[in-house]
Structure 1
Amino acid sequence: RARVLGFDIVREYREVRRRIAYMPQEFIVGWDHTPFEVVAWGLVARGWPIGDAKAQARRWLELVGLWEERNRPLRTLSGGQRRRATVAAVLATEADVIFLDEPTVGLDVEVRHVVWRAIRETVAGGASILLTTHDMGEAETIGDRVVLINEGVTVAEGKPYDLVKELPYEYRIVVGKFDGLEEYGEYIDLGDRAVIYARSYGEAVRLVEELASHAPIYMIGRVGLEDAYLRLVRGHVEAGAGDSVPRVQVG
């Protein structure tokens, strides 16, 4: 049976509830509530004194950049602002264990970084956060440890750097797709584009020079957690046409 911080989730559920906080992907609150009310009254409901709850609400709304909008009804805010309000409400609880279900989905780059900073400050304060995401860049940027799951089954887990380090390649090149692509090694088929992998910087430079004569080069960079995910979870290797070079096909 599952336990949280040593407490049985069935027999000792009250102790568990006191120590956890949860943000579902669809966080529903009244549209006429304000960000300040969402954070402060949520804390009061958990037993915080009103004065402490108000002070905590101010701290977290300032941290996520919503203090100026604290008294505006949620219905008048943008989707990103409402998302930040709900993130602040959950992180402000100072729970020992916090569950966040895709907290940055739909946010632009700048706002996503604001939320990331708030999450990392919460972790630095001693909390444990379990965050689900489809964004591999997010996982490798703020995750201390990641678990890659496919259809409910764990296929890999560890520190992001360690998972990426296990890849046999160091660089990835995004290139326009063309006939004969399989001659250049393992690649991921993206329709009218493909990702080709190189084992070293020197090989990457050579490939770029050769590939540029066949198709546009869109990007070159180091491999990351997304590449590890594709290789471990989503990809399957097939023999390239006419030779034994493997090809990774995204399903």
Structure 2
Amino acid sequence: METARETKPEIETMAAGFRALNDNRRSFLASGSSEFPKDARALIFKPSRPVTTSGTARTKGWRLVFERRSAPFVEPLMGYTGGGDTLTQVELTFPTLQSAIRYAERQGLAYVVRRPVDKAVAPAKEKTVRRPDRPSHAFADAVLERLGLAALQESYGRAMDGAAIRDDASGPATWPNPMDVTRDPALSLEAKRSILMNWAWTEYLADQATNEGMPENGRPSRLCDVEQALLALEREVKRAQAHPVAGRKAA
């Protein structure tokens, strides 16, 4: 019998950038694929106390479960409720919110974090988390600021937003070196910016996994190479803007 649970106002928020504490499973970055289906959507939450008891034994830590991907059905002979989605039977427990988030990111899962609302804080709007295979604008802004290119944050935001429409290729899978992206005449400026920033995100996630002791990701970092390619690209753009006539003749 399903146990009734206390209903509380809750909010769903995005949480990223934390380091996992207990995850030693294979990274989807290393293997190239997740252990879960592409349409899987995880829900991370802190269990609440059942209304039938005052005990808090099963409310410690955080849970990761999966939203149902297909409707349940009633078995015609016995009247039992069944379903074909086995992911609904999976429930993972983590000691901290950070470790649950890092696990979801490594598996390439779209996920939502549901937090109990503080009584002193008004409920916030629900936010659905993006898939972590593409960088957020916050990550791109931080990279550009570190490279002294903060003035281009809005331009890079537009380039990243248009990546899906352009169907930009994956940097690591298509070009042997980040600098090759800047020299590819078939790419538009926006495509180059988006591809290099995606490449920077991939290297950043790989570095995070290496720092957490995952030997399959123990390879030299290429994040510095990607950042140098970004700087070279913007130097070339600036040079072309300063000498537009020469740039057209060279073209």
- Specify which structure has the bigger relative contact order, considering alpha-carbon pairs within 8 angstroms and separated by 6 or more residues: 2
Flag whether TM exceeds 0.5 (same fold): no
TM-score (norm 2): 0.30
TM-score (norm 1): 0.30
Higher strand share: 1
